[in-house]
Amino acid sequence: MKKLQQITPELSLVEYNEIPVLEIDHPEVKAKVALQGAHLFSWQPKHTDKDVFWLSEIEPFKLGSAIRGGVPICYPWFGSLGEPFHGTARIRMWELNQYEITKDKVFLRFDLKAEDGKGLDAQMAMELGETCTLTLTHQGAGQANPALHSYFNIADISQVELHGLPTTVFNHLTHQQESVSSPRLISENVDEMYSVENAITTIVDKGYQRQIEVQHINSTEVVVWNPWHKPTSNMTDSGYKTMVCAETARIHSSLNKGQMIQAKISVKSN
């Protein structure tokens, strides 16, 4: 790891293998954001002893390869709505163009320049403190169908409940609408899309004795994913046991220029 720049006492730029990473070390919060993808992959408010986000233990931090963990930004499209899968933004460089440090939190704004060099495609604003607010604003031409593909750090997938989701879901593995339990328990490969606006998902983690709450704002879907034994790039065979994705998505109703999706994340002990 090579230090590139000390921006302020709380913010430093460090190289993780091929990727520049902004490290935040503030009395209230620690966090890490890769400039590739404006990709938050670690957030730990002072009152918790474990990271809220999961990061693969074999993440190689290679340019052009999306980081396996944290909050990949799927933009301008989700999944196979275009090529590459989950859009280009997670493998492009973003610029840190604004920051503000207060006694409670750190505010960061990253811009994604348009590929033709004219104007912006998107902006990501992060407020990192006791809570974490991520706001993705579509600034480009045309429409966007993004998602904030958050991977949460849990003690053991077999002891986790997801609360606040509907009991009907589109299962991407069987390509059909199905009925599921609420709260949702996961015991196999799941790749499912819940059509629900502005949902609040609560991840009840008995192992770590804590609850993570995600408010999905301006979203029209929540995607839940865990690959279980399905081989997945940059992930160990047992990596699935300690992660669950609960994604803030805007898939079937596009965003126009100036519109945003937001995830507000908080964590509390039981």
Calpha distance 55→132 (Å, rounded)? 17
Calpha distance 163→212 (Å, rounded)? 10
Q: Does 263 bind ligand BG6 (CB under 6 A)?
A: no
> 244 or 265, CB closer to ligand BG6?
244
Q: Does 62 bind ligand BG6 (CB under 6 A)?
A: no
- Report phi then psi at 242, rounded to 5: -115, 15
- Report phi then psi at 222, rounded to 5: -120, 130
- DSSP state letters, 218-247: S-SEEEEEE-TTS--TT--TTGGGGEEEEE
> 106 or 244, CB closer to ligand BG6?
244
Residues 69, 53: contact at Cβ < 8 Å?
Answer: yes
Q: Which of 18, 57, 63, 85 binds ligand BG6 (CB under 6 A)?
A: 85
Q: Does 92 bind ligand BG6 (CB under 6 A)?
A: no
- Return the DSSP state at 254: P
Q: Which of 26, 149, 192, 216 is catalytic?
A: 149
Region 139-168 residues binding ligand BG6, contact defined as CB under 6 A: 149
Taking the complex as a whole, the smallest distance from the CB of residue 80 to ligand BG6 amounts, in Å, to 8
Taking the complex as a whole, the smallest distance from the CB of residue 92 to ligand BG6 amounts, in Å, to 15
Q: Does 75 bind ligand BG6 (CB under 6 A)?
A: no
Task: Scan for tokens 């609420």, then name that residue.
Answer: 182
Q: Does 243 bind ligand BG6 (CB under 6 A)?
A: no
Residues 144, 119: contact at Cβ < 8 Å?
Answer: no
Taking the complex as a whole, the smallest distance from the CB of residue 230 to ligand BG6 amounts, in Å, to 8
* 149 annotated active-site: yes
Chain residues binding ligand BG6 by CB under 6 A are 66, 79, 85-86, 149, 172, 191, 223, 225, 247
Return the active site residues: 149, 247
